[in-house]
Structure 1
Amino acid sequence: MLVIRVDLVEEIVAHARRDHPREACGQLFGAADGGRAMRYVPMTNADEADEQYDNFRFDPDEQLRVHLDAQSRGEEVVAVVHSHTGMPRRLPEGRRQSEAYPSAKDVRFMGLQPDVHFVIVALDGPDAETELRSFLLGGHGEVVEDEVTIGPGGTYGG
């Protein structure tokens, strides 16, 4: 189970709305002994494709700075976060375009950090309702949805 404070969920959704139609991306950090998300760090989508908005990529220099800062705070990555925006996607057959479900590229990326949650926020427009879901890779490389609990501070309503 992934536990995220409501204010962090609100930050994630606000970031996704600001960056729409590009995919927003960032990371959730928490105490190295926990697994509870305590801080959201929005990051720059370094994907250079001007005509396609259906990808994200962390800038390596920014990612290094963010990770060194987290390490100095005694934190570790709890989740990689990004949005799906309803733009053309490479999703499994039968899934709607903006669904909060990992694409084939997302699954390959998840394989780099199989114990890190992969949070996806889907929204079809900057003012649209959102869907937030979390995934992990199972023992055989399969995508497994993990429960998301919104922690103290209220409940998130999309």
Structure 2
Amino acid sequence: GYPNEACGVLAGDLSAREGGRPVRFHGLRNAADSPYRYEIDAQEQLDTQLAIEDAGEVVWGIFHSHVATPAEPSPTDVGLAFYPDSLYLICSLADEVAPEVRAWTIRDGVVAEVPLAVG
């Protein structure tokens, strides 16, 4: 977490692409220990994926923060987007008073914003 990028996975009843809803958040350690990028440890990612599947859930979304940049996917984020059925949620902490969270689909390098509804 802060001052480094934070990251995690949201589990859902169905994929975001299928209209599912998030039901559980799995906070994960940023193995990169960096304020400029995140990296999920491969074993922690596998363990989380198995726990999600064991619960009868799917990966609904991938979350990470941007410490000093907008809540928009960076070229690195796009290049490392391997879950086309999931949403990518990015929280910008650039404005400490008003953090911003935005959601995106990233499929085959094509990025599209998705409106977020909380409630």
Q: What is the aligned partner in structure 2 of residue 136 from structure 1?
A: 105
Question: Which is higher, the Rg of structure 1 or of structure 2?
Answer: 1
Bigger RCO of structures 1 and 2 (CA < 8 A, at least 6 apart): 1
Pairing 1:2-151 to 2, within 5 Å after superposition: 19-32=1-14, 35-48=20-33, 52-86=34-68, 98-110=69-81, 112-124=82-94, 127-137=96-106, 141-151=109-119
CA–CA separation in structure 1 for the residues paired with 2:63 and 2:86: 10
What runs of 5+ residues in structure 1 fail to find an aligned partner? 1-18, 87-97, 152-158
What runs of 5+ residues in structure 2 fail to find an aligned partner? none
Note the C-alpha offset of 1:148. Answer: 0.7
* Structure with greater strand percent: 2
CA–CA separation in structure 1 for the residues paired with 2:80 and 2:97: 27
CA–CA separation in structure 2 for the residues paired with 1:30 and 1:142: 23
The C-alpha deviation readout for 1:106-141, integer Å capped at 9, x for no partner, is 00112x11221100000037x532100000025x63
Task: After the TM superposition, list the runs of 4 or more consecutive aligned residues in structure 1 that deviate by more than 4 angstroms.
Answer: none
Q: What is the aligned partner in structure 2 of residue 10 from structure 1?
A: none
Q: What is the Cα-based RMSD across aligned positions, in Å?
A: 1.7
2:109 counterpart letter in structure 1: G
CA–CA separation in structure 1 for the residues paired with 2:41 and 2:2: 19
* Structure with greater helix percent: 1
TM-score, normalization by structure 1? 0.68
Q: Give the aligned length.
A: 116
